[in-house]
Amino acid sequence: MDPSNATKQEVVIVRPSARKGWVVSVDRSDGDLPFSTRELALVFARAYARVRRAGTVQVVNERGILEHEERVQLAAARSAQV
């Protein structure tokens, strides 16, 4: 495992769309995922961040200013029972 990659974590960003609604952007991704409301975008961003083990979810307002940031709480790994 490369130690330089161990400290790099994805950031999931929720921001207003240039057209209408909100979008979710992910580091190292070319596309934005569109949503009709901020709440739907935020629910998806949180779930995606947990699954992908991203470090942070950020919400940016229409001026491009960081409005809210939260660290992703990862569930503890379940131990396999034999």
End-to-end CA distance of the chain: 29
The answer to whether residue 58 sits within a structural domain is: yes
The answer to whether residue 48 sits within a structural domain is: yes
Buried residues in 7-21 as b, exposed as e (16+ CB within 10 A)? eeebbbbbbbeeeee
Instruction: Grade residue 75 by pLDDT with cuts at 50, 70 and 90.
Output: low
Mean pLDDT for all residues in the chain: 83
The answer to whether residue 79 sits within a structural domain is: no
Tell me the longest C-alpha to C-alpha distance in the chain. 54
The answer to whether residue 12 sits within a structural domain is: yes
The answer to whether residue 76 sits within a structural domain is: no
Q: How many structural domains compose the chain?
A: 1
Q: Containing domain of residue 58, as a range?
A: 3-69
Least confident of 22-26, 57-61, 70-74: 70-74
| pLDDT at site 72 | 85
The answer to whether residue 25 sits within a structural domain is: yes
The answer to whether residue 35 sits within a structural domain is: yes
Average the pLDDT over 52-70 and give the result: 93
Task: Name the DSSP letter for residue 70.
Answer: E
How far apart CA 14 and CA 36 sit, in angstroms, is 12
| pLDDT at site 73 | 76
